[in-house]
Amino acid sequence: EVQLLESGGGLVQPGGSLRLSCAASGFTFRTYAISWVRQAPGKGLEWVSSISSSGGNTYYADSVKGRFTISRDNSKNTLYLQMNSLRADDTAVYYCTKDAHSSGWFRDAFDIWGQGTVVTVSS
Amino acid sequence: EIVMTQSPATLSVSPGERATLSCRASQSVSDNLAWYQQKPGQAPRLLISGASTRATGIPARFSGSGSGTEFTLTISSLQSEDFAVYYCQQYNTWPPWTFGQGTKVEIK
């Protein structure tokens, strides 16, 4: 079964840091581009960051650029999101999701989503 | 940045009736448009990609149409499990990948 499983969420104070992980199984992780999408409480979906299959290309939403870093370890089938200088408006459920196309690039919709991990930024 | 606008914000429909949801892009996205369904407490689920291609396991009562800037998701006969929030998303021009604000389909 194709699965993505996020972890690492929690409560953090403003200005703090957190590292999210997303463990993949059931598919050839190294051949897919992967993204992070978040959802603030009661709000819609917001794209956060994406990474190509090799890790050589990364993209960020303006709202997180310079504070968040996406990375992946294809030997461990795991995606990461390092989040620094966290703010209250980063509070959200963070989902990892894979591109539907196995080219390693961003060619298609997001076909598989993890169950999400909750990040709460509050003092 | 391409802005995706969905209408209506809320759609009240009786079980068995047809539901028609709209999504408009601020500039052409060709047919690089996806629809997702999200139920409370759950992750989004891909319904449609390429504007009109159902994802694996999605029932035939879900259909998508459109290209360019105007898109429609139709649910031909609403079942109880279809009451949810639906999002459109463009993946034609990125970054950023952008979503509509969602349409909530509720029981009338």
pLDDT in tens, A21-79: 999 999 999 999 999 999 999 999 999 999 999 999 999 999 999 999 999 999 999 99
Among chain B residues, the shortest Cα distance to A39 is held by: B43
Q: What is the pLDDT of residue B3?
A: 98
> For residues A80 and A22, is the Cβ–Cβ distance under 8 A?
yes
Residue recorded with tokens 């360019």: B68
Instruction: Tell me what pLDDT residue B93 has.
Output: 96
pLDDT above 90: residue A106: no
Q: What is the least distance, in Å, from the CA of B12 to any CA of chain A?
A: 19
**Partners of residue A111 in chain B, C-beta under 8 Å:** 46, 49, 55
Chain A residues with CB under 8 Å of B36 CB are: 45, 110
Nearest to B98 by CA among B19, B1, B16: B1
Q: Does B44 touch chain A (CB under 8 A)?
A: yes
Torsion of Cα atoms, A104 then A110 then A113 then A119, to 10° = 90
Distance between CA atoms of residues B91 and A103, nearest Å: 15
Residue A107's pLDDT is: 87
Mean pLDDT for all residues in chain B: 97
CA A74 and chain centroid, separation:
15
| Nearest residue in A to B6, CA atom | A44
Which residue is associated with the tokens 């709460």? A120
In chain A, residues with a C-beta closer than 8 Å to the C-beta of B101 are 44
What share of chain A has pLDDT > 70, as a percent? 100
Nearest to B94 among A106, A111, A114 (CB): A106
Torsion of Cα atoms, A10 then A13 then A19 then A24, to 10°: 30
